[in-house]
Structure 1
Amino acid sequence: MAVLQYSIKEAFENLLEKSNEQFYNGNYHESILLLEEAWDLIPNPKGIYCEESYDVVKDIISTCFMIYDFKKAKEWADKIFTTGFARIDSGNKEFIAGTVYFELGDLEIAKEFFSIANEKSEGRCFWNPKNTKYLKFSKVK
Structure 2
Amino acid sequence: MYSPTTRLLTVLELLQSYKQMSGPEMARRLEIDVRTVRRYIVMLQDMGIPVEAERGPYGAYQLQRGHRLPPLMFTDSEAIALTLGLLAIREFRFPVDVAAVEGALAKTERVMPSRLLQQARGLQEAIIFHVTQPSVVLDNDLVVSLSSAVRE
Q: TM-score, normalised by structure 1?
A: 0.29
Higher helix share: 1
Q: TM-score, normalised by structure 2?
A: 0.28
Higher strand share: 2
Rg larger in structure: 2
